[in-house]
Each structure stands twice: as structure tokens, then as C-alpha cells.
Amino acid sequence: MDKMIKKLESVVVAKSLKEVQESIQFVKACFEKRLATKLHLTKVTSPLFVKDGTGINDDLNGIERPVMFAVKSDADQKAVVVHSLAKWKRMALAKYGMKSGEGIVTDMRAIRADEDLDEIHSLFVDQWDWERVITSQDRTLKFLKKIVSDIYSVIKQTEKAVCAKYSDISPVLPSKITFVHTEELVSKYPHLTPRQREHEICKIHGAVFLIGIGGDLIDGKPHDGRASDYDDWSTPTDTGFKGINGDILVWNPVLQTSFELSSMGIRVDKKSLEAQLKLKGHEHRKEFLFHRMLLEDKLPLSIGGGIGQSRMAMFVLRKKHIGQVQPSIWPDHILADCKAKGVELL
């Protein structure tokens, strides 16, 4: 990996804001088309908000507050701006009658008002949210790894296309992605925090899929938070560990740190939903629309995730701040810091 980093010797040439916008659109067009083809996904439209109390919105770590408003024409029914479309997509698969091996992809737009803002976190979230129907036989670690490898190949192809178009950008991604379980990581680096572990493993391998995010590890803590009702992080696998979900992480040579591009996984079935709701003390959610549909076999088994659009553009275009590839609002101290560093935000 050190040799790969040394290849990144040239400084990315400054571009006008118009040229920056053109390069962002080039990245998005390259990636989306290849992703849809590779995973057999149909592009669909999606909502910016859903009704409150249906269990459809993603509650992330369970503490983030969604942006909420009252719908005047619906007796002031409360609506919430989505955090992601993890559950909506699975309902859409059923609605559109998708078969095994077929899926959907959408441009997800979200507001995360409680986000801690920095160079990689914004109030505005844009990602390719995708979901694909699977069979019960597909609910394995082997199948998960195949889909991850397919997605990684698209990431590689996108970086290659960008490097071909912009001569000042050099490729840094390794030929293959490395699979590591969170249990292995905590055993390897017991005295480091989860983020520090990610940093160390990505620095070594360049690209890593970190498996099993959401359940408690050997140290009694989860690697990171994951909702109890979409990713399956509790099912045992043939490795002796638990979890058929994870994150795609790469080493960011500009920021010199690990960099998450995607959160994804095989989704809960009835058994794992029941188990995870109980583990997290969320059994009351069984009364929500989404959960009732799943428990009543009205939703297909699926695999899915979100791939950050701004994150992807930021990474392959070698930008220092996410505000260089998307418009948002920032506190004065962040604006002042960016100005001092010569970083122009959109």
C-alpha cells in the first residue's frame, strides 16, 4: 500500500467551479450506469419524506432526529425527511414485483440534522440507494462477498475512467478488496478505537470490506451502530462469527485516513428481525407497517445498501472536503478553516 501511495505524487490541478461540476457529473454518470448493469438494477424515483410512525424511515443509530413537518392537507399528519431508504426500497421491490436477481437503484436525497460536521460529513446526504431480491439460499457470507466484489469492480472502473480523463489524477485502488470481520479487527487491535482500527487496516490493504457491523463484539461493544431492523448483523456464518453485512472502506490518500464509501448487507429475514429487535429492546416496532409486512411474508428477501455519491466523487477526484463536491451549509469556523487552507466550497 505504501508503494501505491507514493504513486500519488502529482497534485490535482485546480479547476474552475464549472469544470468541477462537470467532473462531478462525469463521476456520477460513470458509476451509476456501471452499477445498474453489474447488479441488474432498474432506476426508480424515490421519496424525500415518508409518514411518521410507519417504521419506514431509517433511524440510523436510533438517536438521530429526523426533520419533521406537518402535512396541512392530511389533518396535520406528521411527515419526516428520510435518513435513508433502507426499508422503503424493500417495500418497493414488492410493489414493483421484482424477481430474484432483479433490483432497483435510486438517487436518495436526505437531511441528517444531527450529523457532526467535518470534511467528510454534511447535513445533506446523497447516495445511490440500491436493493435487490435474493433467495433464501443467497443469505450467505459467500453471496455477500460476491456482491461486494462486483460493486468494488465498478468503483475500480470508475477510478480508471477518471484517471483516463484527468491526467493529473493517478489510480490508487488495489486490484481486489480485502474481507475482514470486525471480530478479527478488535482482536488484532484491542487497544484502538473502532475508527483507529479502520485506519490501520485500510492503510495496509487499500480497500477493505468490514463484516459484521451492529452486534456486540468480544469486547462487549459493537464496532459501530446499525439499526435493528434492516441489515442482518446477528446471523452466524461458517467463519464462526456473526453478521452478513458491512462497510466498504478505502484508504484516502488525500486525507491520509480510512474512508467509507458504502454501508450495505443482506437484510433481515423474520428470524433475524425478531432476534435483533429483542437484542436492542425494539420489540414495540413489530406494530409498525414495515415490520408487520416483513413478519407476514409480504416483503421479499433482499440485499441492499447505500453508496455515497458525494463520497465517491470526493474520493476519485481527490478532494479535501465534501463541500467541494456538494452544496450544503457550514458553521463559520469550518468556512474560515477551509478558506485558510484554500479549499473552495460549492
Residues known to be catalytic: 58, 112, 127, 247, 260, 263
Q: What is the largest CA-CA distance in the chain?
A: 62
Q: What contacts 288, CB < 8 A, 6 or more positions away?
A: 53, 54, 55, 56
> 107-110, long-range: CB within 8 Å, 24+ apart, which pairs?
107/46, 107/309, 108/46, 108/82, 108/84, 108/306, 109/48, 110/48, 110/81, 110/82, 110/83, 110/84
> How far apart are alpha carbons 250 and 248 in whole angstroms?
7
Phi, psi of 102 (to 5 degrees): -105, 155
